[in-house]
Structure 1
Amino acid sequence: MYHPTVARLTRRGLLGRRRAAVLFALPALLLLIAAAIRLLTGPDDETATNVLGGFALATMVPLIGVIAGTGAMGPEIDDGSVVYLLAKPVPRPTIVLTKLIVATGVTVAFSAVPTLLAGLLLNGNSQRIAVAYAVAATAASVAYSALFLLLGTVTRHAVVAGLVYALVWESLFGSLIPGARTLSVQQWALSLAERIGAPGAISSDVGLPLGVGLLAAVTVVAAWYAGERLRKLTLAGEE
């Protein structure tokens, strides 16, 4: 279910100059902020939670997910080069799964790893905050990658749609409207962080079983439907 050639082409597309610049910029900014705060204020658990929750998990992870998820499939559909890929004797589920694995790997590398490093800089993993947010970022990376990969197959404006979701729904509405928080990948991932962190260090509006279940459901359904869209696109081309 994993195709090395598809993976190599997808990875090359995701790590091209333009996307790579943005992928490196966001983690670099997080680490710069963490280093500056540590130098100016010293280690502080509340500050670490605010930075990792408010910037890393709420903003950086979904934005990197948008770049990696939509970039894994969308550009090939937009420019028509997907036809050459679909002409190869590769099962459509294998194409989707391979692209999802690559997109997830890129998202984890550029979001979960910097989140862990930033947490260690901020408070040295006091109350297990750094590890908790790193695990949450990893779980969110999988769901975001699947969700935004799906967007890349259903609309030519996948990046815009992804940014609206990431910045408006997750960051804006999620912080202002209590009901919206329960329908947020961020809050689902936070349920993991709440369990891993010391009691009272991190809080989520969603319980752990529900959060993990929704993360898994979104990932599976989005990947499945992306495969269905790709299959229909193939059939349309053959007709």
Structure 2
Amino acid sequence: MYHPTVARLTYRALLGRKRALIMFALPALLLVIAILVRALVGADDEVANSILGGFAVATMVPLIGVIAGTGAIGPEIDDSSIVYLLAKPVPRHTIILTKLVVAIGVTMAFSAIPTLLAGYILNANSQQLAVAYALSAAIASVAYAALFLFLGTITKHAVLIGLIYALIWESLFGSLVEGARTLSIQQWALAIGERLGEGGYLLSDVALPTAIVLLVVVTAAATWSAGQRLRSLTLAGED
């Protein structure tokens, strides 16, 4: 179910191109903001909650998910280099699962870990905010990676569509339109992190059981659909 060679090629594609600069820049910006805010304001739970929720989870995590998820397979399909991989005796569901594992790992590494560090810098994990938001970021990473990996298999405009979803649907409509929050990966992940948070700072508009079901369904459906899409790609000479 996991192919080391496919994983190595995927890691190289994600971390050896310009997109890696963006993935490094976003968490670096978060940590710089955290350091400056702590130096200027001191430890403040409300400020920490605003930065971790408003920037880290609401903006940074989905953007990194877009970069890692689409970048894990989209460029290979766009330039047709995927045919070299498909020609190998590797089951196509193994290719998808391996790329998904890599995309999840990269998204978590560049989002959940910096979120945890920023939380400790901002308020030393007071009210469990650092751990709760880091957990939310990690959970969201799984669903984002699966969703954007699927987008990468069906359209050359996966990055654009992903950005529209992340910045307009999740960040804009998700914060302004109450009904849209129910269909937000961010809110589903926050519902899990909410159980760890203390003091009522970290809140989600989605009930925990509903959030868990939706996260599982979206992740599974996106992964299965990506596998089906890859199976539909044929090499010259195949029936």
Report the TM range for the smaller structure's normalisation: over 0.9
Greater displacement, 28-37 / 207-216: 207-216
- Cα distance, 1:237 vs structure 2: 6.8
Matched, 1:107 2:107: yes
Name the residue aligned to 2:127. Answer: 127
**Normalised TM-score (structure 1):** 0.98
Please, what is the CA RMSD of the aligned residues? 1.1
Name the residue aligned to 1:221. Answer: 221
SS of 2:152's partner is helix
- Cα distance, 1:236 vs structure 2: 8.0
Compared with structure 1, are the counterparts of its residues 28 and 94 closer, same or farther at alpha carbon in structure 2 (3 Å cutoff)? Answer: same
What amino acid does structure 1 have at the position aligned with 2:106? Answer: V
SS of 1:151's partner is helix
- Cα distance, 1:193 vs structure 2: 1.3
Name the residue aligned to 1:202. Answer: 202
CA distance in 2, matches of 1:123, 1:16: 34
Pairs within 5 Å for 1:145-184? 145-184=145-184
Name the residue aligned to 1:66. Answer: 66
- Cα distance, 1:198 vs structure 2: 1.1
Compared with structure 1, are the counterparts of its residues 229 and 37 closer, same or farther at alpha carbon in structure 2 (3 Å cutoff)? Answer: same
SS of 2:195's partner is helix
- Structure 1 outlier segments of 4+, above 3 Å: none
Matched, 1:185 2:169: no
What amino acid does structure 1 have at the position aligned with 2:127? Answer: Q
Compared with structure 1, are the counterparts of its residues 133 and 237 closer, same or farther at alpha carbon in structure 2 (3 Å cutoff)? Answer: farther
Cα deviations by residue, 1:90-147 (Å, 9 ceiling, x for unpaired)? 0111000000000000000000000000000000000100000000000000000000
CA distance in 2, matches of 1:180, 1:236: 44
- Cα distance, 1:201 vs structure 2: 2.4
- Cα distance, 1:202 vs structure 2: 1.3
Name the residue aligned to 1:18. Answer: 18
What amino acid does structure 2 have at the position aligned with 1:204? Answer: S
SS of 2:102's partner is helix
Structure with more helix by fraction = 1
- Cα distance, 1:235 vs structure 2: 6.9
- Cα distance, 1:150 vs structure 2: 0.2
Matched, 1:40 2:58: no
- Cα distance, 1:216 vs structure 2: 1.2
Compared with structure 1, are the counterparts of its residues 154 and 195 closer, same or farther at alpha carbon in structure 2 (3 Å cutoff)? Answer: same
Long gaps (5+) in structure 1? none
CA distance in 1, matches of 2:47, 2:214: 29
